[in-house]
Amino acid sequence: MSRVKMIAVDMDGTFLTSQNDYDRELFQELYQKMLEQDVKFVVASGNQYYQLKSFFPEIEKELSFVAENGAYIVHADEEVDCGKIELETVHEILDILGKYENVHTILCGRESAYVNKKEPQEFIDHGSIYYHRLKKVDDLYKVDHDTLFKFALTVPVEQVEEILESLHNELGDKITPVSSGHGDIDLIIPGVHKASGLIKLQNLWGIKDEEVAAFGDSGNDLEMLKHAGYSYAMANGHPKVKEAAKEVIASNNENGVLKQVAILLEDA
């Protein structure tokens, strides 16, 4: 296979441990090797850009982020691409979500994410872990000043599959529901996902699919893993993800990603 020129990592359940951190010392060492070998490091996550960059305070202005499941792409502090859901469609989706009593909603945009202030405080606190810019509003229908590109839903864990299927049927081709782990479902723009985000960056840098290594654990990583020449599912990943990847590696709590990155850079 070709030499790896891009390494794309999902964050929760993949790069990050259950303690929401990573081996910073080892990463710094490997990041220096990536710079020496001209290997691009891309953070590819369903989470908000402002949250993702907080994990890399020293180098956030150098890195590339495929945030919000591909809806918002930033390289070296510059916006590369930003998706958009038309307001009419946003309202149609909110109408449908209103029928589900056990679905809690965050509306995601370029400037901020938004949550109805009537939502349970526990849900708002949970949301603020993943959305560092989260504004409480009186009515999601009145959010019209931002570019909106994603819905982030939290549902009871035991109902994820059932609600996913129901949403697929209800939403048709308006928007695509994907599971993003621990009881969370993202509604993303059709055709916009982590793989489409990687492709935009590859085009920028002239990197071929077979030169990409991708790491993931959840349903929103499937396209990226199928797309990459080297693809790795975490031992703690969803069965469908393990099936899609070329290799299953150690779990997120066993430093699986960094151990594999060290091997890839050694082989280069």
Provide the angle, in degrees to the nearest 10, between the axes of the packed helices 256-267 and 24-36.
20
Contact 113, 107 (CB under 8 A): yes
Give the separation between CA 31 and CA 29, rounded to whole angstroms: 6
Task: Choose, from 10, 12, 186, 217, the residue flagged as catalytic.
Answer: 10
Q: What token pair was written down for 130?
A: 């993943």
Torsion, CA 34, CA 36, CA 37, CA 40, rounded to 10: 40
Q: What is the DSSP letter of 246?
A: S
Give the separation between CA 239 and CA 27, rounded to whole angstroms: 27
Would you call 68 exposed, middle or buried from its count of C-beta atoms within 10 A (0-12, 13-18, 19+)? Answer: buried
- Is 221 a catalytic site residue? no
The residues annotated as belonging to the active site are 10
